Structure 1
């Protein structure tokens, strides 16, 4: 999205035409796979602004995410809420419901946080993106990617130091050895590289 802003008018037209030729919408993230399966769902603050700067705000968002997804029968198996984006690993039984779920979550948080920050009219969220999980290996690597995300973005030195992550639930239920085996067997390096080529 941000690279698009740096393009010339001609380069933007060419990029939009390429997207249309591939059957994607002109500017929105494409949703090429809409089946019942696990998905990596990601949502970011508009222009990656750090709006989720407090633990209480991140926890509030997490609570709302669980409320909205669980009430509609979705299963969340992993999560990480960072200062300007979040990742979820979710079993999606009805892809068409995702738009209204994110609209509810993002609409209510935008309204409240803009009031709190005295920034009425500020755009808080950008659209969500999705990636269908292709295999057990992809699922396990995604789980590790989500848990490692706070380290990747320099929030903490160890994934165990970030509180708004499902890593602590996995640690409690499965133990450190299970997690360590997962890191070794399903490494995060180059996660996602070349998937869209």
Structure 2
């Protein structure tokens, strides 16, 4: 990560494991994602947590050094805490490598930003978990839908995300 800005971040479980299959674990994970991002100076705009991966769009801290350093620390801490929590819940000890590395993309073009915003909000639909993105409890789509005008919602929905989904291997 080279500069401060708005980033699309994606991370997945190693070997496509459904680490967050349990609804209570998804609740726990989302709570940690939101609290840790705030502590690290990130302002999340959109998020989606599924059983084996998650995405978010976030505004980094204002300095370039702070952006790169804080995202790495945020993700490492989130993954470490999630691994410890999963080990605790499952009565397993010693597992340390449950997550693959994350990937971040600096969003510098409005079209790219809007397509990824639509993608994050529709990720549970894309994976056939719900028919409407705002019905997925572990996604920001419902809050977004309440916060914006119907016209803006329609505009966002007009941006295709198939290339993003293909690139993410989903």
Q: Deviations over 1:142-176 (max 9, x none)?
A: 10011111122222222132111110111111144
1:79 aligns with 2:56: no
Question: Partner of 1:80: helix, strand, or coil?
Answer: strand
Q: CA 1:116/1:131 → structure 2, altered by over 3 Å: closer, same or farther?
A: same
1:125 aligns with 2:93: no
Q: Deviations over 1:25-68 (max 9, x none)?
A: xxxxxxxx421111111111111100111222112111111111
1:44 aligns with 2:28: no
Task: Please tell me the root mean square deviation across aligned C-alpha atoms, in Å.
Answer: 1.8
| Structure 1 unmatched ranges of 5 or more | 1-32
Question: Partner of 2:69: helix, strand, or coil?
Answer: helix
With the length of structure 2 as denominator, give the TM-score of the two structures. 0.86
The aligned counterpart of 1:5 is none
Say which structure, 1 or 2, has more relative contact order (CA 8 Å, 6+ apart). Answer: 2
Q: CA separation in 1, counterparts of 2:163 and 2:93?
A: 39
1:80 CA drift (Å): 0.3
**Aligned with residue 142 of structure 1, among 116, 127, 136:** 116
Q: CA separation in 2, counterparts of 1:165 and 1:108?
A: 20
State whether residues 134 and 145 of structure 2, in contact with CA within 8 Å, keep that contact through their aligned partners in structure 1: no
Q: CA separation in 1, counterparts of 2:154 and 2:117?
A: 13
Number of corresponding residues:
161
State whether residues 39 and 92 of structure 1, in contact with CA within 8 Å, keep that contact through their aligned partners in structure 2: yes
With the length of structure 1 as denominator, give the TM-score of the two structures. 0.75
Q: CA 1:64/1:179 → structure 2, altered by over 3 Å: closer, same or farther?
A: same
